[in-house]
Amino acid sequence: MSDDSTLSSCEDHRPLQRERTVACSGKLGDHRLAAGFLLVRANRNRADGFTVPMRNVRQPQQVIPSLNGFRAISVLLVMMAHSRISSLIPGGLGVTIFFFLSGYLITTLMLAESQRLGNIAILSFYARRIFRLAPPLLITLVIAYGLTYSGLLPGQITLEGLTGQILYFANYYTVFFDPSNNNIPAGTGILWSLAVEEHFYIFFPLLMTLFLRNASRLRTIGIVFIITCVVILTWRIYLVQSPAFFNDRAYKASDTRIDSIIYGCLMSMFINPLQSPRPSKNMSLLQWTLFSAGICFLLLSLIYRNPVFRETFRYSLQGIALFPIFYFAILFHDNAIFRYLNTVWAIRIGTYSYAIYLIHYIILSAIFKNAPFIASNPFAVFPVVLIISIGFAAAIDSFVDPYFKQLRRKYRSNKRSSIPLGPDITRVASPSRCESDSLTARGHGRMERASHGAERLFFDIERRLEAISAKGDPLETIKKIVQWKDFRADG
């Protein structure tokens, strides 16, 4: 959700964010999805960095392509579903796309920061998120509670509801204490999704730091994440069998929805399109087949209406289906089918999507209560809400965010840590062949011994040069340097 989430800042906020990248060197071996679903052959001598060449795309330089387009699609799906245009519009899918995108982006930024700086500044990460998330959220809550107090917005004002929303406990407050959202202003119930993401990001940087400090390979981290997704799916299945189960328990709770974010993390680690070469501008038959399979799985998750499936396997199937869709939309961003994700309007709506998401349901609720002549026509209420929401988001972007952007820059890490986290974990090796010995314990030991040997060599050079130059004879100095060099080469 941030518009300055550079790889150096390691920032990710839902859903407003422009992702700038910086060059990161290193070789890349074979990339495999841990479950074996998608294989991407990467060039071992790829060009340095995460940057993607941009052609025919009106976006700031070094922006990850297509992501703002996905944000635009997601927020429009949510708005159309809330506007009651049609019961067939999958508003819940829009939220799932937000989750997947957020996980993919934050992992990409975090791994790049680790490689570039040697550490992950956790406290700075949290500070940047507060400065990015809190201002639009607080302004939105002031508007909502003000309208409720004046009688223009349904709902009630309670200390418990306000506290839960400010402290990102809105999802569990709704699930366990206020299932009907009667104790909060109308339209603020959607803050449950922000709570899910924030709960994930409380623990995610800590886990990544722990893994990276112990020089864990991406495959190890990925296995842990895959096991977590299986556990969460099993937990949903168990909850559905409970007599006291209700739909929001699986739909809004963090312990049942975090896997939608983790799927995006897995894509970043194993098949990140920013680290994959593109042989041509056009997609091959196999690539089109994989992309089409992703679309088919996504449609299947929407068409199949079995209640148990919808509260259990649906979220897992959607997470898997988004892998090829996101991958090819980013890698082939200038292809005809994906070019619309990078148009001026898609980028603008995607940039504003966080603020639009926050305010749109409040505006809808106010219209439903105070303007029934507009609310009676869903095709009229949607454009009205969209225009007002974009205006609100533009005001936030122009008058509020620039000040807090300066504060966020103060918490960016620009110096390399004196205690590195370990070898370059952004390299992924295939199971059959490890490209770099630095990813193994033996390789890491060799690197450490080589480092100490080089340090002793440079110290020896410096000591000998000082001793020779102290004699003051230039010819004698040159002769002894050459003799010592030959001696070192022979030895």
Q: What tens digit of pLDDT does each residue of 188-241 get?
A: 999 999 999 999 999 999 888 888 777 667 788 899 999 999 999 999 999 999
Rounded Cα distance between 325 and 302, Å, is 16
Residue identified by tokens 């306000």 is 162
Task: Give the residue among 438, 487, 490 at the shortest CA–CA distance from 464.
Answer: 487
R_g of the chain, CA atoms, integer Å: 26
Task: Give the residue among 253, 327, 444, 264 at the shortest CA–CA distance from 64.
Answer: 327
> What pLDDT, on a 0 to 100 scale, did the predictor assign at position 121?
84
CA dihedral sign of residues 328, 274, 14, 237: positive
Return the H-helix or E-strand segment holding 32: strand 31-32
Over residues 395-422, the pLDDT tens digits come to: 999 999 999 998 888 887 555 443 333 3
- In this model, does residue 33 exceed pLDDT 50? no
Give 467's contacts (C-beta < 8 A, 6+ positions apart). none
Position 463 confidence tier, pLDDT thresholds 50, 70, 90: low
Position 465 confidence tier, pLDDT thresholds 50, 70, 90: low
- In this model, does residue 20 exceed pLDDT 60? no
> What pLDDT, on a 0 to 100 scale, did the predictor assign at position 17?
37
Give 489's contacts (C-beta < 8 A, 6+ positions apart). none
Rounded Cα distance between 39 and 350, Å, is 30
- pLDDT more than 90, % of the chain: 58
> What pLDDT, on a 0 to 100 scale, did the predictor assign at position 366?
97
Strand, coil or helix: 95: helix
Distances (CA, A) of 291 to 73, 269, 287, 294, 297: 18, 19, 6, 5, 10
> What pLDDT, on a 0 to 100 scale, did the predictor assign at position 50?
35
User: Which is more confident, 56 or 303?
Assistant: 303
Give the β-pairing of 5-6 and 31-32: unpaired
Strand, coil or helix: 327: helix
Nearest 5°: the CA angle 383, 388, 390 is 95
- Do 18 and 342 form a contact (C-beta atoms < 8 A)? no
> What pLDDT, on a 0 to 100 scale, did the predictor assign at position 263?
98
Q: What's the pTM value of the predicted model, to 2 decimals?
A: 0.75
